[in-house]
């Protein structure tokens, strides 16, 4: 076997339409629509984190499941 070419991408820069969160894949699993045809968007790490949160919330899991995970993992602070 011979490698004749390759591409590498920073996941943070893949466009919103190229990344999806599929609950059927398991917790924390992202899916790239077609790695051979992606659009790159410059964004900060914070913007990428917000994008991932939005995709999780819009999935079948919803906000309540996101909030439960976020508080368990210490991503959000509560006054309790």
Domain residue limits, the chain: 11-73
Spatial contact of 25 and 31, defined as CB atoms under 8 Å apart: yes
C-alpha neighbours within 13 Å on the C-beta side of residue 48? 15
**pLDDT tens, the chain, 80 aa long:** 999 988 888 999 999 999 988 777 776 688 899 988 999 999 999 999 999 989 888 887 789 988 998 888 888 877 76
- Sorted by sequence, the CB contacts under 8 Å of residue 60 that are 6+ apart come out as 23
pLDDT at site 24: 77
Q: pTM of the entire structure?
A: 0.75
User: At residue 9, what are phi and psi to the nearest 5 degrees?
Assistant: -135, 145
């Amino acid at each position: 076997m011979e490698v004749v070419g390759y591409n590498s991408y920073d996941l943070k820069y893949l466009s919103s339409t190229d990344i999806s969160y599929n609950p059927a894949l398991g917790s924390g699993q992202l899916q790239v629509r077609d790695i051979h045809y992606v659009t790159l968007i410059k964004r900060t790490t914070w913007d990428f984190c917000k994008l991932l949160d939005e995709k999780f919330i819009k999935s079948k899991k919803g906000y309540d499941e996101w909030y439960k995970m976020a508080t368990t993992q210490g991503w959000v602070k509560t006054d309790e």
